[in-house]
Chain A
Amino acid sequence: MTEASVYPAIFAGLMGLAMLIYAILDGYDLGVGILLPFSKTASNDQQRDRMIASIGPFWDANETWLVLAVGILLVAFPKAHGVILGELYLPAAFLLVGLILRGVSFDFRAKAAVSHKRLWDHCFRIGSLIATLAQGYMFGRYIHGFDTSLGAYGFAVLSAICITAGYHFIGACWLILKTDGDLQARATKWARRSLWIMAAGILAVCIVNPLVSERIYDKWLTLPNLLLLAPIPIITFGLVLVVNQFLKGFPYSSDRFCWVPFASAVVIFILSFHGLAYSFFPYIIPDQLTIWEAASATASLKFMLVGVIITVPAIIGYTIYSYRVFWGKSSNLSYDAQ
């Protein structure tokens, strides 16, 4: 490989990493937003406070991974950025409106007059939902290379529902990890409900992708690839079954294994992501534009890589530190628990 071909590959990997981390981290906090309960009981009010408190110190940094992912797309693959966001102009606008609504509600709810708090809570939930649906829809449109057939649009809608289920699931798993008592029990129910929709979504992508793209079909379903890649779907669906069993028996007498569903969700996200990344590489727009065709000048990529090598480990380091600072059940953080 020549120098000019290595740098785009590095940045494609980095963008993938940023997207994966984004999907996991903002995935759980968007999921928590969607799950906010709203019936008019005092315990629901308290549960909303606790749920939002559980993501309080993190959501801002979580969202930054999206800025990094879109940023790398913009700066390392400017041609693809223009095409992708040009095609996804309207859903991207909805995504942004959703993220704006959600981000500001988070702060307004705590500072506004009491009578307005519920309104901001609603905005928080609606914003989370809009952002999630928009992401799923954009993802579905992207997978089919912005094909304009009815089937492709139908797939995008399906994808919107399944990504929402996925975030719903990882959000519920986060709550199982970070809360206890009644809220934790409710989160278990939420997790079980969304688990199967998410699994169906992953399955749908697995089936549709090789069907619509001969290239992807060849990449997965010929020997020896088939055997080498088999662990990805097997582990993914195995984990789904394991988590389902685990959730059935919840709650356990000791809360020692409360991390299991969240960890499994993370592994499922990672495996699904790798499956997709493998399918699409080296295309940045499926079957149309490769990462090399879309890349910026090598001199610019080199200059950025210096920054990446220095800062990304530091970012990961202080992100871990921040999670350690706020380790444990989020109820300990609020005055409610005292």
Chain B
Amino acid sequence: MNAAALFATVADPTVITLARIQFAANISFHILFPTITIALCWILLFFKLRFLKTGDQSWMDAYSFWIKIFALTFALGVVSGITMSFQFGTNWPGFMETVGNIAGPLLAYEVLTAFFLEATFLGIMLFGRGRVSERTHTLATWLVAIGTSLSAFWILSLNSWMQTPTGHEMIDGIAHPVSWWQIIFNPSMPYRLTHMMLACGLTGAFLVAGISAYRKLRGDHQPSVNKALRTGVVLAAILIPIQIFVGDLHGLNSFKHQPAKVAAIEGVWETQQGAPLLLFALPNETTRSNDYALGVPNLASLILTHDANGEITGLNDFADHPPVMPLFWGFRIMVGIGLLMLASSWLATWLGRKQNPLPKWLLTTLLGMTFSGWIATLAGWYVTEIGRQPWLVHGILRTADAAAAIPPSNVGFTLALYLSLYVVLLIAYVSTLFLIARKAGTPQKSAKDAPAKPTLGLTVEESRA
């Protein structure tokens, strides 16, 4: 097929569906790893700074343990991220054609300001201890942490712009930039960025707490494990109330700019005052009502309008609205996990004060919640992304108009290829995390004489363990 024919043909629905599943699979797989590395890097920096301040070796032990998990997670994030940069063009040529003038520079700034910074200083952070001064090594940790967060800044800026586009003008159906300030700091960007960064913080905190709890349950009571566990639960305990507050603000922002999304989240079909907050329901698109609804009267209106009798526009009053079921339940899963996070982290912080050992059942709970951040993040993310449908860029570009006319067999083939790879890698990743945790708990004979300095040997050394 030549270049002209590629665009002349209109993508058929099968391809659009497959392309969407493929993109969703890739981006879902990818997001798992940055959510960890964005937070874990700051946690590592905290360990390092505590070590420098107190001289307590156990902080450095915590650093040495968690940097292995960081390196592995980072590698998975990088390679799955490269897939993204290719797929914008292969699966969604219409996206770059219509809004490339806006999306392009934002993506470019991510690569230029963040990618290289992270990738280069990661080498020094991982292998440079002993080759550079302690101060330079700490600086490298700082730079990687800043780089990962900067990456999130640009991506969230673009994503927010796709939800609430401003600062552009349309000329012949193509978006042109007018004010970069308005584009970057578009109306939903501050909320979305904060919400996502806090989600990363919680994901990282529960990972650290969960793996540390696992080590403790296996009888590994090194001081570094206690320090990491404490860091994880306290961080989670601090972040979760902030997250609930920010999430509420984010919801108000969406209510203002994307009311159809919020109506789907709340399962509100008819415009009504004093809408109830539904705890359970099965939204039914055919009857356009909710089956088995169980709700708290007036609460949804109270939350969204801060008035018990406030009006919420129902789905029936929108020309387009997103699919209701995934939004309704995605939101409830996210909030449910958030509440579990609140309970478990506060309990663990309270019970663990004054160096009290945590009871076994609580350690088991934390272990069970090791990946709770992933589920909450994915659920929340589906709510926000599916909630934008049928638009790819709200009010500017429909998803169906952006898809590529690629033969369905090709998309299907690569989808199967990616999916099988992702399943294998995810299993390998999770089992390796626990393997690293088990290995760290088994004291090695050589551990004493192994010098702390030249750390590229780390790879060699560990593989022998």
Instruction: List the one stretch of A34-42, A98-106, A184-192, A229-237 in contact with chain B.
Output: A98-106
Does any Cβ of B come within 8 Å of A326's Cβ? yes
Shortest Cβ gap from A292 to chain B (Å): 15
Q: What separation, in Å, do the CA atoms of A326 and B121 have in the docked complex? A: 12
Binds A, one of B72-80, B204-212, B215-223, B288-296: B72-80
Which residues of A are found within 8 Å of B108, using beta-carbon distances? 71-72, 75, 304, 307
Chain B, residues 347-365, CB within 8 Å of chain A (1/0): the string is 0000000000000000000
Is B393 engaged at the interface, CB distance under 8 Å to the other chain? no
CA–CA, A318 to B102, complex, Å? 29
Give the segment of B267-275, B300-308, B315-323, B457-465 that binds chain A. Answer: B457-465
A64 touches B119 (CB 8 A): yes
In this complex, what residue of A is CB-closest to B94? A82
Given that A64-B116, A307-B109 are contacting pairs, would A111 and B72 also be in contact in the complex, using a CB cutoff of 8 Å?
A: yes
A104 & B79 in contact (Cβ 8 Å cutoff): yes
Q: Is A257 an interface residue (CB 8 A)?
A: no
Residues of A within 8 Å of B428, CB to CB, are 104, 108, 112
Q: Is A93 an interface residue (CB 8 A)?
A: yes
Residue B421 at the chain A interface, CB threshold 8 Å: yes
A114 part of interface (Cβ distance < 8 Å): yes
Residue A141 interfacial (CB < 8 Å)? no
Whether A67 lies near B111 (C-beta < 8 A) is yes
Residues of A within 8 A of B127 (CB): 56-57, 326, 333
Contact B3 A285 (CB under 8 A): yes
Of B81-89, B230-238, B327-335, B379-387, the segment with at least 4 beta carbons within 8 Å of chain A is: B81-89
Q: Out of A57, A86, A289, which one reaches B406, CB within 8 Å?
A: A86
Is A70's beta carbon under 8 Å from chain B? yes
Question: CB-CB contacts of A45-61 with B at 8 A, as 1s and 0s?
Answer: 00001001100111011
A112 to B450, CA, bound (A): 20
Which residues of A287-338 are within 8 A (CB) of B? 288-289, 296-297, 299-300, 303-304, 307-308, 311-312, 315, 318-319, 322, 325-326, 330, 332-336
- A103 in contact with B457 (CB, 8 Å): no
Q: Which B370-425 residues have C-beta < 8 A from chain A?
A: 404, 406, 410, 413-414, 417-418, 421, 425
* Residue of A whose beta carbon sits closest to that of B425: A104
**Besides A81-B96, A311-B113, 4 new A-B residue pairs in contact (Cβ under 8 A), listed by A number:** A86-B93, A112-B432, A300-B101, A335-B450
Instruction: State how many angstroms separate the Cβ of A168 from the closest Cβ of chain B.
Output: 22
A83 within 8 A of B: yes
Q: Kindly state whether residue B242 has any CB partner on chain A within 8 Å.
A: no
Known A60-B75, A103-B78, A303-B105; contact A67-B460, beta-carbon cutoff 8 A: no
A112 touches B435 (CB 8 A): yes
Q: Looking at chain A, what size class is its interface with the partner chain?
A: 35 or more
The yes or no answer to B187 lying at the interface (CB within 8 A) is no
Verify if A276 is at the interface (C-beta below 8 Å from B): no
B49 at the interface (CB under 8 A from A): no
Across the A-B interface, the 4 shortest Cβ-Cβ residue pairs:
A75-B104, A57-B123, A82-B93, A333-B456
B89→A335 contact, CB < 8 A: no
Q: Quick check: is A126 within 8 A (CB to CB) of the other chain?
A: no
Q: A85 in the interface, Cβ–Cβ < 8 Å?
A: yes
Q: How many A-B residue pairs have CB under 8 A?
A: 248
B176 within 8 A of A: yes
Asked whether B249 is an interface residue with its Cβ less than 8 Å from the other chain, the reply is no
Q: Which of B68, B80, B97, B100 has the most CB of A within 10 A?
A: B100
**Residue contact B126 to A57, C-beta cutoff 8 Å:** yes
The answer to whether A311 and B120 touch across the interface, beta carbons within 8 angstroms, is no
Contact A89–B410 (Cβ < 8 Å): yes
Q: Are B456 and A63 in contact (CB under 8 A)?
A: no
Known contacts A74-B88, A303-B180, A308-B112; is-contact A110 B457 (Cβ 8 Å):
no
B107 on the A face (CB < 8 A): yes
Chain B contacts with A in 419-449, Cβ cutoff 8 A: 421, 425, 428, 432, 435-436
Contact, CB under 8 Å: B86 / A96:
yes
Chain B CB within 8 A of A150 CB: no
A285 — which chain B residues lie within 8 A by C-beta? 3
Contacts A57-B123, A83-B3, A304-B105; A67 near B177 (Cβ below 8 A): no
Chain B residues with CB under 8 A of A96: 82-83, 86
CA distance A204 to B101 in the complex (A): 39
In the complex, residue of chain B having the shortest beta-carbon distance to the beta carbon of A84: B89
B83 and A110 form a contact (CB under 8 A): no
Quick one: which of B93, B435, B460 contacts A111, CB cutoff 8 A?
B435
Q: Check: B368 CB closer than 8 A to any chain A CB.
A: no
- What distance in Å separates the Cβ of B150 from its nearest Cβ neighbour in chain A? 11
Among A75, A86, A146, A335, the residue within 8 A (CB) of B90 is A86
- The reply to whether the CB of B170 lies closer than 8 angstroms to some CB of chain A is no
Chain B residue at smallest Cβ distance from A112: B432
Distance, CA A299 to CA B128, complexed state (A): 41
Bits for A223-243, please: 1 = Cβ < 8 Å to B, else 0: 000000000000000000000
Q: Which of A66, A319, A325 contacts B82 (CB 8 A)?
A: A66
Q: Within 8 Å of chain A (Cβ to Cβ): is B25?
A: no
Min CB distance B29 to A, Å, is 10
A12 within 8 A of B: no
Q: Which of B6, B102, B456, B464 contacts A57 (CB 8 A)?
A: B456
Q: Are A107 and B128 in contact (CB under 8 A)?
A: no
Which A152-203 residues have a C-beta within 8 angstroms of B?
none
